[in-house]
């Protein structure tokens, strides 16, 4: 389960790559460490076809029976919990340059995965939703996101065998935002072997978590 990723590219580079028409993130800096319940850039497609980049908070509200931690990773897209949010209007792209998975060893060792040593941007296949409540002490309406996971590929499995995020590049980004449900869910598959590389390993490359981190759930 991915509960840490980074986006270390300028907003201008992200706007160009993902063909963003409107940027509402302001002057938000690069984010070398995004943890659950933090704000990060997300791209959605509006009804008129324009793409808007906004800041949203990572983690859907958790079903009451499962506690209070935000749901950051989406695996079971057949669950009624996700059914209403799988429409194109609520699909989104979550830009990233690397993601972190911890080994099952003792102690656990962080491994950062990227498309190459230069860490070119890609996107996670995400969902977003509005939600009214209190998050991190802020009451009111929030825009929340989470992203899909799938089986681990040959690169990720030796480190984290259970799952990996759904990685989108090129035309797959357009398809995720606009395709019918069956075609969109066909993208919920492991990244091709060889697409990802381990670009950093060990505690020195692992950014420190925020105070009182709230680790997310997989649902």
Q: DSSP letter for 171, please.
A: H
Give the separation between CA 1 and CA 162, rounded to whole angstroms.
7
pLDDT in tens, 162-202: 999 999 999 999 999 999 999 999 999 999 999 999 999 98
Q: What is the pLDDT of residue 213?
A: 42
Is the pLDDT score of 14 beyond 90?
Answer: yes
CATH label of the domain that carries residue 78: 3.90.1680.10
For the chain, the domain total comes to 1
96-144 per-position pLDDT tens digit: 999 999 988 778 899 999 999 999 999 999 999 999 988 888 888 999 9
Range of the domain at 191: 5-218
Who's near 164: CB < 8 A, 6+ residues apart?
2, 101, 113, 149, 150, 151, 152, 153, 156, 190, 191
CA distance 96 to 42: 10
Cα-to-chain-centroid distance, residue 151: 16
């Amino acid at each position: 389960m991915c509960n840490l990723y980074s986006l270390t590219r300028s907003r201008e580079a992200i706007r160009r790559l993902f063909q963003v028409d409107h940027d509402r993130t302001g002057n938000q800096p690069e984010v070398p460490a995004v943890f659950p319940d933090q704000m990060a850039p997300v791209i959605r497609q509006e009804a008129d076809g324009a793409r808007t980049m906004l800041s949203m908070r990572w983690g859907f509200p958790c079903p009451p029976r499962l506690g209070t931690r935000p749901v950051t990773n989406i695996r079971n897209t057949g669950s009624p919990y996700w059914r209403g949010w799988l429409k194109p209007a609520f699909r989104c792209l979550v830009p990233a340059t690397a993601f972190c998975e911890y080994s099952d060893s003792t102690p656990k060792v962080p491994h950062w995965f990227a498309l190459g040593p230069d860490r070119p941007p890609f996107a996670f296949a995400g969902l977003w939703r509005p939600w009214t409540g209190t998050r991190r002490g802020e009451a009111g309406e929030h825009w929340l996101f989470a992203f899909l996971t799938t089986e681990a590929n040959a690169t990720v499995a030796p480190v984290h065998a259970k799952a990996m995020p759904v990685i989108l590049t090129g035309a797959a980004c357009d398809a995720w935002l606009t395709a019918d449900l069956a075609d969109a869910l066909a993208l919920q598959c492991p990244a091709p072997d060889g697409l990802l590389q381990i670009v950093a390993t060990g505690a020195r490359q692992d950014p420190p978590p925020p105070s009182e981190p709230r680790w997310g759930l997989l649902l």
